Amino acid sequence: MITTVMTKMTKQIPISFLDLVPVPEGSDAKNALKQAVTVAQTAEQVGFNRYWLAEHHNMRGIASTATSVLLAHIGAHTSTIRIGSGGIMLPNHAPLVVAEQFGTLATLYGERIDLGVGRAPGTDGATFRALRRTMNDAENFPQDVQELMHYFDPLDGQTVTAMPANGLNVPVWILGSSLFGASLAAALGLPYVFASHFAPQMLSQAVTLYRENFKPSAYLQQPYVMVASNLLLAETDEEAAYQFTSAQQSFVNLRRGKPSQMPKPIENIDAFWTSAEKYMVESSLAISFVGTPDSVKPKLDHFLETIRPDELIVTCNIYDQQARLNSLSLVKALDLFSLNS
């Protein structure tokens, strides 16, 4: 069970990391998976609270497609950091299979496992059909979440038992970027994560709705909100902005209908995108903190004071692995987060 009190921003909060496992331009998935292990180990060493993976399909630049399989690999190469999904796109799967997979992870790695679930397919229509699913499956999300949770209940005599999930403590989180997920998480008494790192428009409304309508449950007694942001720290603002052009290019390529491997950074991003694309990217990635710890800290502090999350999860989806590792290490200099010793 997760318990918390409303975070006061005079205190530090936990920080976690969301990894999309980017495949660098000119490289391959094997290298990306190797890099993911190093990222997870670095996050653990720095003191991050969680390391989560996101499920995406049919994208050449993302290698976290088989999320539960990769989590098993990450778990074998870490020892203390919580690991989980941010998230499993539940319409793509039968709840029983997800329960079996995460029950297996929890059996292997104890109470380090988190299960974040989302309603979006995380892919395109053609891939959805290849998964043998339909777009209408998303309409069953509330029922599927409850069925999934049921498989973890320590009940005897279940018609279908999810081995080895039965009776294990695997916290289920609701992920969302709209009011729907906030309402569902509040109604079920579950922790809630808002995907403000790429869809920030309804952040404040969703967090307020969740907190005001939260119903205590056997899983959680008080609301617990985690919000997502992009965070890229470097020794200079110029270096951080340069490295961030990888993420910006990737976002534009996706919107152009040409998803690619993670591009190398470029010196002049304005020569790459149109004014309309620039507006789209800056709107979508508005919750991004890019620069030195000194330049980022006041902006990030203001954001945390405004939203007052219980936890922050950050992503750093860029080409340069060393820049990503360096960014993780520089989090200590922010002095805003309670890092695990």
- pLDDT tens for residues 48-101? 999 999 998 888 899 999 999 999 999 999 999 999 999 899 988 999 999 999
Instruction: Tell me which of 123-132, 270-279, 322-331 is least confident.
Output: 123-132
Q: Give the C-alpha separation, 262 to 135, whole Å.
A: 28
Q: Give the CA-trace dihedral at 66, 70, 72, 78, to 10 degrees.
A: -160
Residues 188, 194, 199, 201, CA torsion sign = positive
Helix runs in 152-236, H state only: 179-188, 203-213
Percent of the chain scoring above 70 in pLDDT: 92
Q: Is residue 29, in this structure, part of any structural domain at all? A: yes
* DSSP 3-state of 156: coil
Q: What is the mean pLDDT of residues 297-309?
A: 97
Q: Provide the domain count of the chain.
A: 1
Of the pLDDT bands very low, low, confident and very high (cuts 50, 70, 90), residue 122 is: low
Higher pLDDT, 136 or 66: 66
Q: Is residue 214, in this structure, part of any structural domain at all? A: yes
Provide the 8-state DSSP code for 103: H
Q: Give the C-alpha separation, 317 to 315, whole Å.
A: 6
| Contact (CB, 8 A) for 38 and 12 | no
Q: Does residue 174 have a pLDDT over 80?
A: yes
Q: Is residue 188, in this structure, part of any structural domain at all? A: yes
CATH number at residue 20: 3.20.20.30
Q: Is residue 257, in this structure, part of any structural domain at all? A: no
Identify the top-confidence range among 41-55, 129-143, 252-266.
41-55
Predicted pLDDT of residue 126: 75
Instruction: Tell me which of 3-17, 125-139, 240-254 is least confident.
Output: 3-17
Q: Is residue 282, in this structure, part of any structural domain at all? A: no
pLDDT in tens, 269-280: 999 999 999 999
CA–chain centroid gap for 290, Å, is: 18
Q: Is residue 269, in this structure, part of any structural domain at all? A: no
Of the pLDDT bands very low, low, confident and very high (cuts 50, 70, 90), residue 129 is: confident
> pTM of this prediction?
0.93
Domain housing 24: 13-236+289-309+328-338
| Contact (CB, 8 A) for 224 and 2 | yes
Q: Is residue 280, in this structure, part of any structural domain at all? A: no
Predicted pLDDT of residue 123: 61
Of the pLDDT bands very low, low, confident and very high (cuts 50, 70, 90), residue 8 is: very low
Q: Give the C-alpha separation, 201 to 283, whole Å.
A: 8
pLDDT in tens, 198-246: 999 999 999 999 999 999 999 999 999 999 999 999 999 999 999 999 9
Q: Does residue 288 have a pLDDT over 60?
A: yes
Of the pLDDT bands very low, low, confident and very high (cuts 50, 70, 90), residue 128 is: low
Q: Does residue 4 have a pLDDT over 60?
A: no
Q: Is residue 253, in this structure, part of any structural domain at all? A: no
